[in-house]
Every structure is written in C-alpha cells, then in structure tokens.
Structure 1
C-alpha cells in the first residue's frame, strides 16, 4: 500500500453512498501526465472507466496496462467479498483492491467522487490541478439488488438517453436497471417473429395530459422502439459499468398495445382500434388460448436471446378479472382447465410462462400479484410495490424478493406539497423519504431475511415525457436511494451536506436535478392537472388492494 499520513478524519472528502469506513488526511496525491493505471484481470473495466474520465475531463493521457505497480493500481483480491473494495491513496500513488470486477468498478467510482467535480464533465475546461486526498477506505454494500426501474412504454427514451442513465446509476453504485418495455400505451422491444408488436404497437396517435381524471388529451403521435441490436448494445454498455439490465414485458394485463397489434390475443370483440393513450388500468387482457400462450413464449424466447439476465420480468400486475368473467370463452376455458374460478386464469397463465423460462435456464420475475391465487414457482423473484406486508409474505414463502415500496420509492410521485410541483400525483416522496427506505421488514426469520435481495425505485413515466424530466424526477432522490441501499436508512442531517457537495458533480455531469428550493420555472406544468393524496389515503388504498385482491379498471 502507498504510504499516507495516518488516518485522522473524513474532512475534505464527501462520497455518496458513504463508505463503511473512511479516513482522510491533509496530504494529497497529484495526478499529472505521468499518471498511469494498472488493472489486473477482471479489473480492466474499472481501469478503462477511470482512464476514460481522466482523458475526457482532465486531458491526461492515463495509459492503462495490465502490469502491476502503476501510480494507480487496481487489483482483484480474493480475500474481499463480492462487490467489496478497499482504497488506499498516498502521496506516491493509489491502490484499489476489490473482491471482484464489480468491486473494482465501485472503487473507481469512489476515486472519481474524490476528485474535483469537473472530472464528470465531457471535456477539459482549463483546470490544471487534479488531486486526490490521502484516504483509507474499506467498503461494501448492505443490499445485493440496488436498482432503478424506468418505464419506457408510457414514454419512449432513445438508446443514448438510456446509456446516459446507466452511467448515472453506476456513478451511485446502483447495480440493476429494470427496463419496463411494454404496457398498454406502447410496445418497445423488437420481436422478429411478431413484427406488428412494434410496427403497430410501437406508437400511439395521442397521449393523456396530466392525471386521468382531467380527461385531457393532446393530438401528438408518440412512439419508438428498440431494435434487438439497440438492446444488445445497452446490455453490453451496462455490463462494462457493473449494471445488470433486467427486461420486463407486462403480461397478461397492461397489454393494450399488443392487442391493438394482434387482436386475436385479446378478449373477442374487445381489441382497441388503436394503441391506447390514456393512463390507468385498462380492461385489455390476454385471452387464455394455447395460441396466445405460445405467442408469449415466442416473445420470451427472443428476450432470452437478447438479455443474459438470469431473471426475465413477466409483469403480472394489475390484471383485472372482469374481462374474463364477462367472456363466455374465458369462463369455458377456466372450466376446461379445472380451475375454481376465472380469477385463477392469471395464476395458470403465469405458471406456463414460469415453466417456459425454467426450460430456457432462466427464472421469472413478477410483481407481487404473482402471489395471489395458486402458488407461484418458488424460484420466481417477486418485486413488491405495496409495502412491507407483501415483502414478508413473499420472503416467508421462500421467494427471493425485491422491495419497490410505493410510498417510499415511487419516483413519479410529487416531491413536496408545493403548488409548483409538476403534475403532482400520489403522496409526497422527497429525498428524505427515500433516504429512510429499508427493504427489510421487521420480524423476519433469518431464513426469510436471506430472500430479501434489496430494493429499487420505480420511475413510471405517464407524466415524464422527455429526458430533462427524467433528471428532475430521478435526482437527487436516486442519490438518497443509493445511500439507503448501500449503507442502510440514513440521517437527513448527516446526509444533507454530502448531498450538497454531490450536486456539484451532478451539475458537472449535466444533470438537471430538482433544486432543493423547488422546481425551476421551466420544470413546472401549470397546463396539466395532478391528483395528490395524503400518505394515509394512499396507504388505505394499498391495504384495500392487498386485502381484497381485486384490481379495479380505471381506464377505458
């Protein structure tokens, strides 16, 4: 290890998420044109990431070698656990040790945060001094799954915007990007065997403006989709940054776009004439014919060919049963299958997709509604959105589970009770609320607790219609999410000064985050109506959904 002034305090250094242990001194390591990077096998992506930043923003040559002993030396150390790392900065150099490739990337991200914020710019701006504080860090995450979900079905975001968001997730040591690819309002993944999914289902002629209760629509077509190669590029780009891309197609509800493209998939006579542009829970569900199951298995086959993720999302949330109850064919199908009611058709359908994925060497990921009705396969990963009751239910049943609690980490929810919040919906989810997020419910047995992999924030995009607003809704709440999942629920007073320093990094990276004093004038939406709720109102709604198991139709 390089020699360094004995650790004293954390003065002069601010990192998000906060490392497990960190101590700095007044000494520094100076980066100049002689600085080189050595990266051992499996640490090469970390060396490349660090070199790219030093070249782009600092104008330094930053050559990378696999020969140990360069002034910045990144190496794998099997004594450290997965994703863990240690950093030692002395006046004569830097050593990063990591348990694996992911840990090496985390160490590189920490070094970048210890440099001046301008290291996150896209070109040099004339700064001549680049220094790292002498520091001793030992660090590793609390949670294995630290994710963000982006809904690209309600509003489409180009591949370059997806890659930019992945960069920002990696900057915060978040390691899962959950890509919600399909919904009523759009189908965004190219499926070669069924091209109309994107040819027809990939665009809609109009979109609702604001909350559905206002009944206001624009007349502007909206659309777009990702080719298979677009998605392969996104997957490879994310992998180089330590981020796993988990795809999701939502079935058997939320399928308006698919049924508009292929009416034979839906309830007879109920297919929409066009891809829906309204928000809410629609009556468009899949029929339960064998041909429809085979169609969905075709889709899964192509997803597996594109995405290496062990888990493949199949949705399974918010599927109303009334369309089946009112359809003679569906009623007859439930009887033919020996089911107790048409409501059990969803569990039967989910089990078919689970089995198909298992045959492909993968496993399903579904929203918590997969727990309703007949038991789901125990290897199905459950993503919970209605709170800790459902997390405990899934974990105690032996499922791996990820918490995405509605009232804690829904990033489309309003960030204050101010009148200038754009299209305010839901309860208040500000940075302090996210910072307090804990995926682990109280009272779990040790065995059940092992199944709680972590958590993620969900950014649904009904009201997020351009990349600038993705920035507004995501940041700085994603910073608080990273802190909570890496280290545990935080103290707002301790976090605030570190966040203030971190915002300078985001500003240098070009992120249009929500200012602490409230939305900037151009971030407001006085033209669009919201639907705010109190925490008590929303919690009562969630409890009712859990207790009744009934999904109401809210959109036609």
Structure 2
C-alpha cells in the first residue's frame, strides 16, 4: 500500500473484493467529525468529482466517520470492507489522520484538485490500526530570512498534514526581517520588515541581490493561517527572538539596542547572514516593549508554546556596556550568561501567568533554565540530554540530522551547498531519543522537529527542493515506532517512496529527484559553506 508514514499495523485481505468509490458513495459523519467530513469532500471529493452526500453510518457504499473514546488521543482505526469504509479516531485529530491514510490508499490521483483518473478508485480490503510515537511532530519554516507569502504558508500546512506532522513553527523575527504586524509598534513592519538588498549565498559569497526584500503577515493573515492549520490539526507555534537575532527590531526602535556602545540609530535591517553582535539591551524599556509584543502574539496564537529563540546571543556589547554591567550588578548576577538567563526567566514567568509555556533553543540552558521552559535541542543531542535530565521537556532537532538547509549530496550540482551532506537515508536513520537517557528521562522528549532555514532559499521552489523528499523520511521517524537506526529497512522505505513521489507530483511539490537536481534547481556560482567529514549517523 506504500503508506508514508508507515502505520503501526495493517492486515490486508488479499482475496477480498475491493471497495470502489463511485457517484453514489455517501459520507456518514458522527458527532464531532464535521471537520474531517468537510475536508474529505474538499479533497477526495474534488479529486474524483464526487459529491459524497450525507449517508447513514454503516450503510453500504458509505464512508463512516466516528469518534471513539476507547481509542487514545490521535489514534485511529481504518477498516475497509467490500461495501464500505469505517474510520474511528480517538479524537478529532486521530480521525483526521485516518482520513489522510484513506487518501493515500486511494492513489496519487486523490492528491489532485480536479479529476484526472479514468473510472472510480478502489481500495483493497484492509484494517489499519495506528497511532503516533511523538506528540510534537514539527517543522520549522524560517520566514524571517526570506519572506514566504501567506499562500505558501497555507500550502505548507497542507503538506505537513498530508505527512501527519502536527506543529508548524514559524520563525517570524530575526536580524533580517520582522514578519508579523504588531499594532502597538507599527515601525516593526514599516521599517523592520524591509531590507535594502540581500546577500546571495552565505557570508563568503561576493554576490548580492540588489532588489529590496520584505513582507509581513497582517494580524488577519495570522488568524487565517492559525484557523486553517487548526482545521487540519496543526498547531502554529510563533517564534519572537529574544535577546539576540533582533537587529530588525532595533532598526525600527533604536532604544531597544545597547546605545551606549553602538549608534543604534544607524543600524539598518541586516542584509547579510551570520551571528550578529547587535542584541537587545537589558533594560526595563526592552522588557515592557516585548511584553507588549507578546501580548498581541498570544492573542493571535492559541498554541500552548511560544518560542522566544534565545540562541546565538553574543555577549560582547553587554560586556562593553556600562548600563548592562550596572544591570548585572543591580540584579546580583554572576555574569553575562546569567543576564541572558534573566531575560529568559522573565518571559517564562510572563508567559506562564497567561497560561502559556516558553520554549527556546538550547542556549537558554546557559546561566540556568527557567523552571517551566522547554528546549529545542539544535546543537546536537547534548542540550536535550541536559534538559531532560533536569526535568525539562525537549523537542529534538539536532542540526547534524534534521536541518533541511544542509546539502543532500556531495555532488557539484547541489544548490548553495551548506554544511554536512544529509541524504534521504540519513534523515530516515535519525533516532530522536538518545540512548543515554533513562526511561523516565526519555519521557521528557515530547517530540521531534525538522528545521528549514531560508538564508539561501528565496522561493517556494527552493524550499520544496531542500525540504522534500527528506521531510517524508522525517515524518516516518516522527510518527512511526521504527526499529533502532541500524535495523531500519531503508530499501523498503525507498520502495514505498516510488509511489509517494507520484503523490508529491500530484501536489505540485518540486522535490529533489533521486537522480539529482533538475537543471533549473541548480545555483551555479553561488557560494555556500560545505563542511567535509560529517559526524557519523548513530
């Protein structure tokens, strides 16, 4: 059946008559199933030109949808007989994942927006019982470095849902752009959302795109994205970077920077890439500013978690700033690392008081981690291990395994080659839970995430190329209970991918072909930063 991600269990009745969808096939929706009912009509119905009118549960030639509290959260059971289909979900999300499996069973034509198939589709008689391994199955899209219009984000939500991924982490602010409307501070988008030009390639490249670049999401856009994602059981987690990666905000409001060591009024939105020395000043003005920003953010995003970055915050300006040193002394802190921890703890307390949880990159461990904070472990496993052992929840996203901006092959045709080679097989062999953790500690690994940083991706076509097909392998890691990496059957996964490539084709995804990039997917002459001798996959 070539399902991706692989289900927990499937029993096929080889000698049974398949079920055929047709003009008279009905859709019976039990209580609490309306979202999946509407989605099936809008996708499968449109793909085959079928009305799927309301029907009676369990009747012949009917797809029956039921919520069954005997099943666990996100668990589903899909049963296909010769006369109909029944999908049961432990909750609305589980039911929806069962419907996604039904769509795959119908064939690649089910992923198109209008009928192209000759005749009605048929499905083998099968019973599938399935549930996810991790609660957080995430994908981070960096829209700060290169802005992605709203329709690209909505398309991304659909692609995540098709792979049973359930978290979209939107990286909304950085040195190179501020991408969310904050009504109290209009200059964040009037000034901070636009840069004069853009480095093409990484820092060593001599090339520039001299066109201004920018864009942002209005609050109505954000509400639409969040609602669209919620209907597909995808949570949208916003990231507002504090205290580093903040030059776009400082360019809009210079009082946020360390003005006693740098002329913050002369700082533009950054046009190049890399770790940047211009960070937020540790003042009450900065705290109140970001409290006001986050007040609007939490009103727009209902997600439990709010990401505040916390990574790559150079301490040089704080060491040179008399105001920052006075703040360290006033607070009785040991050093600049403790000052960053003070920033993080402040916003952890602020978010907790509003029923939310702070999550940040693993640098937030420096100087001591706030009690309620969770960690996105990106610099390998070490930060996640330390956090889990200290009783903090962890999302594993180590760069050596699941950074999808890293090159997919060592060949010369790979566009803007960055860092290690990480092939489809490498991603498939990623194991999120370190063997060093005890069983109790491992429970703090609440999920996994693949990250797509867009310094070198200036279009949806380039994002497609770098993300797929590796995101399909990642989805199986996140959902399926796979053997240890050494025991995983990559050959069998590759065989299932032959069918999955046809699904991606139907969805219009411009993935990297197994044979290498198409001519138009190459970027000759654009320098990246390849690293030879990648760490081993373990």
> Contact 1:407 / 1:535 at 8 angstroms: preserved in 2?
no
TM-score normalised to the size of structure 2? 0.95
CA distance in 2, matches of 1:54, 1:486: 23
* Deviates further, 263-272 or 159-168: 263-272
- Alignment partner of 1:36 is 2:19: no
CA distance in 2, matches of 1:431, 1:159: 28
- Alignment partner of 1:267 is 2:250: no
CA distance in 1, matches of 2:108, 2:269: 44
> Contact 2:310 / 2:363 at 8 angstroms: preserved in 1?
yes
**Aligned positions of 1:5-404 closer than 5 A:** 13-24=1-12, 25-26=14-15, 27-64=17-54, 69=59, 71-268=62-259, 269-271=262-264, 272-373=266-367, 375-404=368-397
| Structure 2 SS opposite 1:386 | coil
TM-score normalised to the size of structure 1? 0.92
CA distance in 2, matches of 1:65, 1:298: 50
Question: Could you list the runs of 5+ residues in structure 2 that have no partner in the other structure?
Answer: none
Give the drift of 1:215: 3.8
> Contact 1:36 / 1:64 at 8 angstroms: preserved in 2?
yes
User: Could you list the per-position Cα deviations for residues 264-285 of structure 1 after superposition, in whole angstroms to 9, with x for gaps in the alignment?
Assistant: 1001034253211100000110
- Alignment partner of 1:531 is 2:529: yes
CA distance in 2, matches of 1:348, 1:377: 9
Give the drift of 1:54: 2.5
CA RMSD of aligned residues (A): 1.5
| Structure 2 SS opposite 1:214 | coil
User: Could you list the per-position Cα deviations for residues 187-212 of structure 1 after superposition, in whole angstroms to 9, with x for gaps in the alignment?
Assistant: 00100111100110001010001111
Q: Which stretches of structure 1, 4 residues or longer, exceed 6 Å deviation after superposition?
A: none
CA distance in 2, matches of 1:393, 1:109: 36
**Aligned positions of 1:466-481 closer than 5 A:** 466-481=459-474
- Alignment partner of 1:505 is 2:488: no
CA distance in 1, matches of 2:491, 2:383: 31
CA distance in 1, matches of 2:387, 2:337: 20
* Deviates further, 148-157 or 334-343: 334-343
> Contact 1:54 / 1:62 at 8 angstroms: preserved in 2?
no
User: Could you list the per-position Cα deviations for residues 206-261 of structure 1 after superposition, in whole angstroms to 9, with x for gaps in the alignment?
Assistant: 00011112243221110000011101111110111111111111110000100000
Which residue of the partner structure matches residue 545 of structure 1?
none
CA distance in 1, matches of 2:536, 2:289: 37
Give the drift of 1:446: 2.1
Which residue of the partner structure matches residue 492 of structure 2?
494
Give the drift of 1:338: 1.2
Which residue of the partner structure matches residue 447 of structure 1?
440
| Structure 2 SS opposite 1:212 | coil
Give the drift of 1:67: 5.9
Give the drift of 1:126: 4.8
Give the drift of 1:439: 1.2
CA distance in 2, matches of 1:182, 1:105: 32
CA distance in 2, matches of 1:135, 1:432: 29
* Deviates further, 509-518 or 61-70: 61-70
Give the drift of 1:87: 0.7
Give the drift of 1:371: 0.7
CA distance in 2, matches of 1:493, 1:410: 23
| Structure 2 SS opposite 1:528 | coil
Question: Could you list the runs of 5+ residues in structure 1 that have no partner in the other structure?
Answer: 1-12, 540-556
